[in-house]
Amino acid sequence: MSTKPLLSNLSRRALLCATGCAVATAMTFSLAHTAKAEDTIKIGLIATLSGPSAKSGEAITRGLEVAIDELNAAGGILGKQVELLSRDDESNPAKGLTAARELVQREKVAVVFGGLQTPVSLAMVPYFNQVKTPFMGPWAAGTPVTKNGAEENYIFRVSAVDELVDIALVDRAVAVHGSKLPGMILINNPWGESNEKGLRAALTARNMEYAGIEKIEGSDVDVVPQLTRLKEAGADTLFMVANVDPSAQVIKSLERMGWEVPVVSHWGPAGGRFSELAGPRGEEVEMIQTFTFSGNMTDKAKDVFAKLQAKYPEIETIKDVTPAVGVANAYDAMHLTALAIEKAGSTDGPAIRQGFYDIETHAGLIKTYQNPFSPDVHDALGPEDYLFTRFIDGEIVPITTN
């Protein structure tokens, strides 16, 4: 009797069994993978993680990571562990927008942090409002970032705001330096434009004139021509708004000119190796901040600093946390975001947006927040949270006199 049909039937049954097992295994893996993905709440970060401003991106990352460690140790958010997904925008608005789409559409993040630089943030703002995904800014201070005119605004911020910073810069120039005719030296991009508008308004409110407005590029290596025009126009104080490299070039150009003029700055120089690039004259620059560990060793600050040292062994002293403002803004913003998600009870964008409005109080690193957000106010920090600082031996320290 032939055995071929029997073997054929056995082969078919074996093949079907093998195929079924493979499909079952694949389905099991797929379900396990999906379950694993759903077991975490994903938070996105888009920031400058390379180049001259990488120290700022690093500070934001560290503030987020310490806060996320605390949240996960306490059970996470909504009973799920929190996962941070980071993308480098390289200070490029187009790359920031590409990263935003990838994090929202493919990674399904609940909230995106980032926009170290105002131009990058402004490029992403319309997208986040369109897809109804909350965006939290821990750095970029451009006024239009949160005041963007959207009917449904999904952009929140724990950081400085240009129009408020500009009032503080003018107040300091007048009160400390007796300024009567200040000049402006501003980076030639949307951040500079935001501050030009704010400074003009702040000066107008005081019935003050200004000597002139000069623009600089991020690639400028000689700012003497612009500064010369301001000097000849009689500027008695300079308002400086630029990031690390161009700010350093302004100071080196002032030194070459031998022009001893007070410089009252936005916080751009804090974002990297300014003291090293600008030289000794850089220590004379007065810059605004929202936080510093120096001279501020509250119990909360001590606790966060100790966690930074434990997580990042290269941090030996306060001097190694530069800029501390990036750490503090991001740390507080992450905890406020966690509260918003908890109040929402889900990772649905509109629900989280309402969750931000529902926050009543939170004891943060920078301050204790009381109703930090409302439909009309998406900025958790105000002028009362600003302080002036300077670099001393590479450390950002508060100015305790004047």
pLDDT at 109 over 50: yes
Query: Alpha-carbon distance 392 to 55, whole Å?
Result: 18
Cα 268 to Cα 232, 240, 263, 273, 286: the distances in Å are: 26, 9, 13, 11, 11
pLDDT at 3 over 50: no
For range 316-335, the mean pLDDT? 93
Band the pLDDT of 9: cuts 50, 70, 90. very low
Q: Domains, the chain, ranges and CATH? A: 40-160+295-383 (3.40.50.2300), 163-289 (3.40.50.2300)
For range 288-292, the mean pLDDT? 94
DSSP letter, residue 384: G
pLDDT of residue 38: 66
Which residue did the predictor score with more confidence, 322 or 90? 90
Of 45-59, 167-181, 366-380, which gets the smallest average pLDDT?
45-59
pLDDT of residue 401: 63
Which residue did the predictor score with more confidence, 13 or 77? 77
For range 76-81, the mean pLDDT? 98
Specify whether the CB–CB gap between 321 and 327 falls below 8 A: yes
pTM: 0.85
Look up residue 275 and give its two tokens.
């003291």
Of 59-63, 199-203, 216-220, which gets the smallest average pLDDT?
216-220
Percent of the chain with pLDDT over 90: 78
Percent helix, strand and coil across the chain, each rounded to 5?
50, 15, 30
Band the pLDDT of 402: cuts 50, 70, 90. low
For range 262-278, the mean pLDDT? 88
pLDDT of residue 323: 87
Look up residue 352 and give its two tokens.
């989280």
Band the pLDDT of 21: cuts 50, 70, 90. very low
Specify whether the CB–CB gap between 145 and 158 falls below 8 A: no
Sheet holding 387-392, edge to edge: 212-216, 183-187, 238-241, 263-265, 286-289, 387-392, 395-398
For range 271-298, the mean pLDDT? 89
pLDDT digits (tens, 9 = 90+) for 348-371: 999 999 999 999 999 999 999 999
Specify whether the CB–CB gap between 189 and 118 falls below 8 A: yes
Name the β-bridge partners of 368.
Answer: 363
pLDDT of residue 273: 78
pLDDT digits (tens, 9 = 90+) for 139-173: 999 999 999 999 999 999 999 999 999 999 999 99
| Cβ-based burial of 249 (10 A; exposed 0-12, middle 13-18, buried ≥19) | buried
Of 28-42, 89-103, 216-230, 346-360, which gets the smallest average pLDDT?
28-42
Of 35-44, 137-146, 345-354, which gets the smallest average pLDDT?
35-44
Which residue did the predictor score with more confidence, 284 or 55? 284
Handedness of CA 326, 331, 336, 338 (dihedral sign): positive
Sheet holding 155-157, edge to edge: 81-88, 40-47, 111-114, 135-137, 155-157
Helix pair angle (324-344, 299-311), 10° resolution: 100
Give the strand pairing for 387-392 and 286-289. Answer: antiparallel
Which residue did the predictor score with more confidence, 110 or 2? 110
Query: Alpha-carbon distance 149 to 151, whole Å?
Result: 6
pLDDT at 102 over 90: yes
